Amino acid sequence: MQYELSKRITTEASVSAIADSVERNMANIGSVTRGERMAVGQPSDGQLGENDFHVSSINDTFGSINHKNYALVEIREDAGGKLLMAHVTYKTSIWFWIILLLTISTGVFWLIPIFFYLYHKKTVRACLVEAFDNIYNEFNQSLPSPNPNSSLSNGPSFERDNLSKLKDAKELLDSGAITEEEFEVMKKKLLD
């Protein structure tokens, strides 16, 4: 099974700075090789760029004997930022088939290798997504918040806020929590 994950980062940081973060984050989840292709069948001409990575044994545990996994992680320039892409290969190992054949006649125990295979497929994906999210959080530049004193504060959101406050004041009047005079004062403040 092969699939791809991607994450776009809005940043002006250099590719090499992002590559260093990718290497740190990927080292937390698997075995990382930077700048050379190790897996047969990966896309491209068989060479990785200096800022590309081969990540294998992602989230390796005892149940990992049922599968082999690796990912080619690439960083590419994109309009206004960088694009992280992971080309993931996840397949059964020889141990999966051996365990399955040994347990096929034992009632429901043959489901164990299948369970581990499917469970680990989800955890491998989750580890990669979490690593991409960490890198995104480190480098993403969000748009600045508008200044509350700017002319934008008199726009539609400001009007909606005042209408909401006016509605709340009317509910207070109707419930008897405030007097008619207090409501009129609040209304005058909100509408001016």
CA distance 68 to 56: 8
Average pLDDT over residues 5-27: 85
Map residue 131 onto helix, strand or coil. Answer: helix
Provide the strand spans (E) within 39-188: 53-56, 67-78, 81-92
- Tell whether the model's pLDDT for residue 117 goes beyond 50: yes
Query: What pLDDT digit, counting tens, does each position of 145-182 carry?
Result: 445 544 444 444 445 577 778 787 888 888 887 888 88
Which domains does the chain carry?
2-139 (3.30.310), 151-191 (no CATH)
CA distance 132 to 170: 48
pLDDT of residue 31: 80
CA distance 31 to 136: 21
